[in-house]
């Protein structure tokens, strides 16, 4: 042993002989830098998560101006029949949408996961399309399709049958619920399919050999095994529906259907009554927390193979001619959710008057030209959207990575607190979070209202759970021994992280970044409460255009928004893999 390394090691060892005499500054130097990072992260998470939520709670008990304790806000928020009706409408809407979504998605998930149905790629494309399509764009598409007077479907129905009543009026409670379900069903699909993927064919074989046919087996074995996933999907769609702002605003307000989110928006019309809004947001928050709790309990229940991950062989079930029925179902849902709305939107965006349909003399580029070259806000909003989302995604991934590393490697005793805070926004509806950010940071002392920073902070906090789930999975996938192997060979922790761990999680983190970017770029409910005149995002501008009622320009702007999203989706699929958006997290 003559190398200098061993001498260095020997002197290092000599310095630590007789542990009782180790001087205090040596001990201090041996403290993991993680402890300091922990403090910093705790501070950041307090500002991003705890402060807005705490402020929301406080403000709901404060008197406007004086800040004195009062219950008047609650009295105002629940004192009118109209407000109570909105609450009831939200619950009914959530239940209806979730039911429709489950009915649409479960057969699709079963067919894709377990059977030899043709066109699985097409079904995937439909699900991905529905997932990427912002709900409010779907809503606009359905107004063009099923508006009571000039919607294509109703026009066709009347000319075919001579009836005077519309076939399907989108401006109705059922219309609203249907449109929401058509944009939200991918959540159920992903939940149920990933659970079905874990059911071994032997489970079904065991039922077959005892005399059960394909359908009995599906009803009695396959579906019951994934029951928790179905309920989980139902709950998620329910929560999405009651927290959704765009679709209820675009369809519900003209149809005079008031729900919680649109009512909250009305509290923000001049004069802004943020105290009342805070009080009125409480049920939304409590229901979400409670339902996520229920879902956790359901999914934690033992005894379902879908949770053990034990696989075994999986073979597709042969459906015979019936596979075309399943294919028709999947194609039909895909058509209703993506194909039709997207077609009419595209048609309208290139039309002089959308109602005249596809005709050569109806074609124009005027709508796009107007937006790109003449509109005062359109291009600014695109730029805003891209850079707000990019900064928020970067911040969220960076925070999530640090928290995930500290929690996964158990570097500090209280690390789990950080993990809990990073996941907490998952149970806070976006619209509630936006009101919290408004209450905490819009006014003095920080006076961030209308600034880009406020929106970026809100986006970062709102999508932190997505980034955290992603980063946590990435870190867990790197065996700790990978780092330990570097350390025992003489590399410090920071060097081991930068040389070994970082390159290994790079790709997964990129996927997380893109996912946050994409959902942030279409976020409406959090943005609409926080934007100022110069900080409008595409989603907010799109909503403004929908209020103006010019559907051709609106459709063209929707086309631009989709184009921006698609660019990043394609980048993600190229770099990270086809399914990077549809993984269950």
Partner 1 sequence: MARLSLHKVSKRYGALTVVDSLDLALEEGEFVSLLGPSGCGKTTTLRMLAGFVDPDAGSIALDGQVISAPGSVLPPERRGMSMIFQSYAIWPNMTVAENVAFGLKLRKLSAEETRRRVGEILEVVQMGALAGRYPSELSGGQQQRVALARAIVVKPRVLLLDEPLSNLDANLREEMRFEIRRLHDEFRITTVYVTHDQAEAMATSDRIAVMNAGRIEQVDAPHLLYTRPRTRFVAGFIGRTNLIEAELRDNTVGFDGVAVPADALGAQPSQGAQPSDAHRAVLISIRPQSVMLHRAPPAVANGSVVVPGRISQRVFLGESWDYVVSGEATGLKLRAAAPASDVHEVGTQVWMAVDPRHMVIVD
Task: Choose, by CB under 8 A, the member of 22, 206, 294, 575 that binds partner 1.
Answer: 22
Q: How far apart are CA 510 and CA 477, in angstroms?
A: 15
Positions 446 through 485 that interact with partner 1 (CB under 8 A)? 479, 481-482, 484-485
For the bound state, the minimum distance from the C-beta of residue 507 to partner 1, rounded and expressed in Å, comes to: 11
**One character per residue 54-83, x = contact with partner 1 (rule: CB under 8 A):** ------------------------------
Question: Judged by CB, which is closer to partner 1: 6, or 308?
Answer: 6
Answer yes or no whether residue 503 interacts with partner 1 by CB under 8 A: yes
Q: Note if the bond before 73 is cis, omega within 30 degrees.
A: no
Task: Choose, by CB under 8 A, the member of 18, 209, 210, 414 that binds partner 1.
Answer: 18
Positions 276 through 305 that interact with partner 1 (CB under 8 A)? none
Residue 446 · residue 409 · CB < 8 Å: no
Angstrom CA distances, 66 to 59, 282, 342, 430, stand at: 11, 22, 51, 28
The runs of H, that is alpha helices, within 46-80 are 51-59, 72-77
For the bound state, the minimum distance from the C-beta of residue 204 to partner 1, rounded and expressed in Å, comes to: 32
Answer yes or no whether residue 31 interacts with partner 1 by CB under 8 A: no
Per-residue tokens: 438? 């408004």
Answer yes or no whether residue 84 interacts with partner 1 by CB under 8 A: no
Q: Which of 425, 338, 390, 418 is nearest to 516 (CA)?
A: 390
Answer yes or no whether residue 498 interacts with partner 1 by CB under 8 A: no
Q: How far apart are CA 198 and CA 299, in angstroms?
A: 14
Q: How far apart are CA 567 and CA 313, in angstroms?
A: 37
Question: Judged by CB, which is closer to partner 1: 16, or 161?
Answer: 16
Q: Note if the bond before 445 is cis, omega within 30 degrees.
A: yes
Question: Judged by CB, which is closer to partner 1: 7, or 63?
Answer: 7
Residue 261 · residue 93 · CB < 8 Å: no
**How many Cβ atoms from other residues are within 10 Å of residue 567's Cβ?**
11
Answer yes or no whether residue 486 interacts with partner 1 by CB under 8 A: yes
What's 320's DSSP letter? T
Question: Judged by CB, which is closer to partner 1: 68, or 414?
Answer: 414
Q: Which of 40, 41, 30 is nearest to 493 (CA)?
A: 30
Question: Judged by CB, which is closer to partner 1: 64, or 493?
Answer: 493
Question: Judged by CB, which is closer to partner 1: 484, or 547?
Answer: 484
Q: Is 53 exposed, middle or buried (0-12, 13-18, 19+ CB in 10 A)?
A: buried
For the bound state, the minimum distance from the C-beta of residue 13 to partner 1, rounded and expressed in Å, comes to: 5
Q: Please report, in angstroms and rounded to a whole number, the separation of the first and last CA atoms in the chain.
A: 51
For the bound state, the minimum distance from the C-beta of residue 228 to partner 1, rounded and expressed in Å, comes to: 32
Question: Judged by CB, which is closer to partner 1: 24, or 215?
Answer: 24
Among the candidate windows 22-30, 121-129, 281-289, 359-367, which touches partner 1 by CB under 8 A? 22-30
Residue 318, H or E segment: none
Task: Choose, by CB under 8 A, the member of 490, 563, 571, 577 that binds partner 1.
Answer: 490
Give the residues lining the site for partner 1 (CB under 8 A).
1, 3-6, 8-10, 12-14, 16-19, 22, 27, 30, 479, 481-482, 484-493, 500, 503-504
């Amino acid at each position: 042993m003559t190398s200098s390394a061993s001498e260095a090691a020997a002197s290092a060892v000599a310095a630590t002989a007789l542990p009782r005499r180790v001087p205090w500054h040596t001990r201090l130097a041996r403290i993991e830098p993680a402890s300091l990072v922990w403090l910093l992260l705790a501070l950041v998470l307090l500002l991003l998560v705890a402060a807005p939520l705490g402020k929301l709670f406080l403000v709901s008990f404060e008197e406007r101006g004086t800040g004195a304790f009062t219950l008047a806000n609650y009295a105002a928020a629940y004192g009118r029949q109209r407000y109570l009706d909105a609450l009831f409408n939200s619950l009914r809407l959530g239940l209806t949408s979730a039911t429709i979504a489950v009915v649409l998605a479960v057969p699709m998930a079963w067919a894709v996961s377990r059977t030899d149905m043709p066109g699985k790629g097409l079904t995937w494309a439909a699900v991905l399309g529905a997932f990427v399509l912002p709900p409010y764009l779907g809503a606009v598409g359905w107004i063009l399709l099923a508006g009571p007077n000039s919607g294509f479907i109703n026009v066709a129905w009347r000319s075919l049958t001579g009836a005077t009543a519309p076939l399907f009026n989108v401006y109705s409670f059922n219309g609203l619920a249907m449109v929401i379900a058509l944009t939200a069903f991918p959540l159920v699909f992903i939940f149920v399919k990933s659970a079905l993927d874990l059911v071994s064919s032997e489970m079904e074989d065991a039922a077959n050999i005892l005399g059960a046919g394909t359908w009995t087996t599906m009803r009695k074995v396959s579906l019951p095994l994934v029951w928790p996933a179905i309920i989980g999907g139902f709950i998620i769609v329910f929560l999405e529906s009651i927290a959704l702002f765009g679709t209820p605003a675009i369809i519900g307000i003209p149809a005079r259907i008031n729900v919680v989110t649109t009512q909250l928006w009305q509290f923000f019309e001049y004069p802004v009554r943020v105290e009342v809004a805070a009080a009125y947001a409480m049920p939304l928050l409590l229901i979400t927390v409670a339902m996520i709790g229920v879902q956790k309990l359901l999914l934690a229940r033992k005894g379902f193979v879908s949770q053990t991950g034990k696989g075994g062989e999986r073979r597709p079930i042969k459906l015979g001619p019936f596979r075309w029925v399943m294919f028709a179902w999947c194609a039909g849902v895909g058509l209703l959710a993506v194909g039709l709305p997207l077609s009419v939107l595209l048609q309208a965006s290139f039309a002089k008057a959308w109602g005249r349909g596809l005709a050569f003399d109806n074609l124009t580029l005027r709508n796009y030209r107007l937006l790109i070259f003449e509109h005062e806000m359109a291009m600014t909003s695109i730029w805003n959207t891209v850079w707000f989302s990019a900064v928020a995604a970067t911040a969220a991934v960076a925070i999530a990575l640090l928290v995930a590393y500290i929690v996964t490697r158990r570097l500090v005793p209280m690390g789990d607190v950080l993990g809990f805070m990073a996941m907490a926004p998952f149970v806070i509806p976006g619209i509630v979070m936006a009101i919290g950010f408004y209450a905490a940071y819009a006014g003095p002392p920080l006076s961030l209202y209308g600034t880009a920073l406020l929106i970026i902070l809100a986006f970062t906090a709102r999508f932190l759970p997505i980034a955290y789930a992603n980063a946590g999975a990435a870190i867990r996938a790197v065996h700790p021994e990978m780092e330990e192997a570097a350390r025992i060979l003489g590399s410090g922790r920071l060097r081991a992280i930068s040389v070994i761990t970082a390159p290994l999680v790079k790709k997964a983190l990129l996927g997380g970044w893109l996912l946050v970017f994409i959902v942030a770029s279409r976020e409406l409910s959090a943005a609409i409460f926080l934007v100022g005149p110069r900080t409008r995002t595409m989603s907010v501008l799109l909503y403004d255009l929908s209020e103006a009622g010019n559907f051709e320009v609106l459709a063209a702007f929707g086309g631009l928004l989709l184009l921006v999203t698609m660019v990043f989706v394609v980048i993600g699929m190229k770099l990270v893999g086809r399914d990077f958006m549809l993984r269950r997290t």
